[in-house]
Structure 1
Amino acid sequence: MKPVSILFVCMGNICRSPLAEGIFTHITETAQQQHRFHVDSAGTGGWHAGNPPDPRSMEIAARHGIDISGQRARQVNTDDFERFDLILCMDEDNLARLSQSCPPDLQHKLHLFSQYAHGTTQSVPDPYYGGADGFLTVYNMLFTGCKSMLEKMGADDVAS
């Protein structure tokens, strides 16, 4: 069976989407379900391309036993619309940006992260200009959402 490919997207691919990628990967590994998924992250903007995640994202991930230091930021490209089964945006702005460049026949792949994970329209806030508390809030939102996603996709023994 072909793995489900998931792309997490935020603005610069240094705060929210690398955290989501790391969390989802961690949860699937803990549940021994990693073979069922291919996970990546990207940004709608390319100004951080090639850079590691924000140090505050790496720190909050590490505090929870997740190493995202090997990730490098990249910008969403047109091939991503074909390559990924699900493209999950952290907020409405990034969803709107991708909707403008996504081919009409692939629009069904684009979703707001919280809509797909929880059925709500709450955006995952960008913690970049705030302090450590914002990164913890984002981590908790993403963890809960990633856990919910995996449960919906039928994985047993999801990490808590």
Structure 2
Amino acid sequence: MESEIQPWGDIAVLFVCENNTTQSTMAQAVMTKICIENNMEGVIVDSRGWDCKENLTPDELTLKVLNNHGIVGLQHKSKKITLIDFDYYDFVICMHDRLFRQCYELMNSNGKACRAYIKTLSDYDPYRDRKCPPKREIAYPYFPV
């Protein structure tokens, strides 16, 4: 089911990964749980993929990891990010630098200002700079890196 997002009022957050079946889907589920647990009713959370097939369900292992952390029943179908997403979402959070650059280029491709503020998820990692070397990529949640 598509979120009904108005270009005013609610805070809307969009997570972006490559396929929209693993990383961004997991980030969406975790953020949704945090919002529910903290009664943050005005926050709309969704996810998209950069180069994805539409209408795929989350990866089996993604669902297993979420289940292991008490997040069950995720209903999601993969969707590809489009230019219009940058006018509806306040925050577009990319899983790595390459996606950040691609989303930034897409957002600016029509020559007009958009609503979205783009960041990478690692920008919010308070320990990022303590890692050797500093880590900017979000690892897949179940594959060794």
State the TM-score, normalized to the length of structure 1.
0.72
Which runs of 5 or more structure 2 residues have no equivalent in the other structure?
A: 1-7, 129-134
Question: For the Cα contact (< 8 Å) 1:9–1:43, is it kept in 2?
Answer: yes
Pairs within 5 Å for 1:18-37: 18-33=25-40, 35-37=41-43
Which runs of 5 or more structure 1 residues have no equivalent in the other structure?
A: 138-160
Q: What is the match of residue 63 of structure 2?
A: 58
Matched, 1:126 2:134: no
Question: For the Cα contact (< 8 Å) 2:95–2:121, is it kept in 1?
Answer: yes
% identical equivalent positions: 20
Question: For the Cα contact (< 8 Å) 1:99–1:107, is it kept in 2?
Answer: no
Q: What is the match of residue 49 of structure 2?
A: 43
Pairs within 5 Å for 1:128-143: 132=142, 134=144
Matched, 1:99 2:88: no
Q: CA separation in 2, counterparts of 1:68 and 1:97?
A: 31
Q: How many Å apart are 1:106 and its aligned residue?
A: 3.0
Question: For the Cα contact (< 8 Å) 2:87–2:115, is it kept in 1?
Answer: no
SS of the residue corresponding to residue 36 of structure 2 reads helix
State the TM-score, normalized to the length of structure 2.
0.79
Which protein is richer in helix relative to its size?
Answer: 1
Q: How many Å apart are 1:67 and its aligned residue?
A: 2.3
Structure with bigger gyration radius:
2
